[in-house]
Amino acid sequence: MTDANTLMVEKYRNSFLKEVEANVEEGDWVRMCMQCGVCAGSCPLGPHWAHPPQEIFMMIRAGKREEVLTSDSMWMCTSCYNCIVRCPRELPITHIMHGLANYAHRLGIAPKMNPTRRFAKIFWDNIASSGRVNELTLSIKLYFMDGIASGIKKGLEMMGVGLGLVKTGRLNPLGLISHSGVKDTKGLHAMLKKAKEIEDKRKGLA
């Protein structure tokens, strides 16, 4: 178990709901769910969720901390916002799912090999370093995340797509050596560092 996780288990010993309300983005909405299941039926990747959103909400209220935070369910969210606009109680479900995924990841107990978790980390690191997406390095890092051999295999599978994009001027083959990020990277990095510090402090993680 990670230190951050142990800290939170001890702090909120009796109430996972309180922990979610305090530490998860939009988590104070969780108690508003009335279990109708419209979110589950509206999700494009619904069949792939081990626990659909309304079940997650009930599990949070029932204190099933480990089952929720180690689940890969939230990582199936495509950010389509269908659940938000259809929820009769107007819960910001998409954001709560993002918040739970982020919190589990921050505590180090999210499913290690989940591809969306891994891709999301690669993506954020990509934009946080230069301020703008470098599509070439983003794709290469994604395809090679399981090592050279599988990277070459995935690279070959994606060759047609990549060449199509290069030919139509929509992918920079020189992206490894030339990429224009923001000019004020120093300010951007300092800003992100400060934002993370404040967020960790607010959540008692610092």
Count CA within 13 A, CB hemisphere, residue 41. 6
Residue 33, CA distances (Å) to 40, 109, 120 in order: 13, 25, 28
Residue 18 in contact with other proteins, rule: CB under 8 A: no
Site for other proteins in 151-180 (CB under 8 A): 157, 160-161, 164-165, 167-172, 175, 180
Least spacing, CB of residue 53 vs other proteins, in Å: 15
**Exposure class string for 93-109: b at 16+ Cβ within 10 A, else e:** bbbbbbbbbbbbbbbeb
Question: Which residue in 152, 122, 120 sits closest to 134, CA to CA?
Answer: 122
Site for other proteins in 111-150 (CB under 8 A): 115-121, 123-125, 127-128, 131-133, 135, 139, 142
Least spacing, CB of residue 146 vs other proteins, in Å: 12
Instruction: Answer for the pair 58, 40: CB distance below 8 angstroms, yes or no.
Output: no
Contact range with other proteins by CB under 8 A, out of 30-38, 41-49, 50-58, 63-71: 41-49
Question: Which residue in 58, 71, 66 sits closest to 8, CA to CA?
Answer: 66
Tell me which residues touch other proteins (CB under 8 A). Answer: 25, 44-45, 48, 76, 78-82, 84-86, 92, 94, 98-99, 101-102, 105-106, 115-121, 123-125, 127-128, 131-133, 135, 139, 142, 157, 160-161, 164-165, 167-172, 175, 180, 182-184, 187-188, 190-196, 198-199, 202
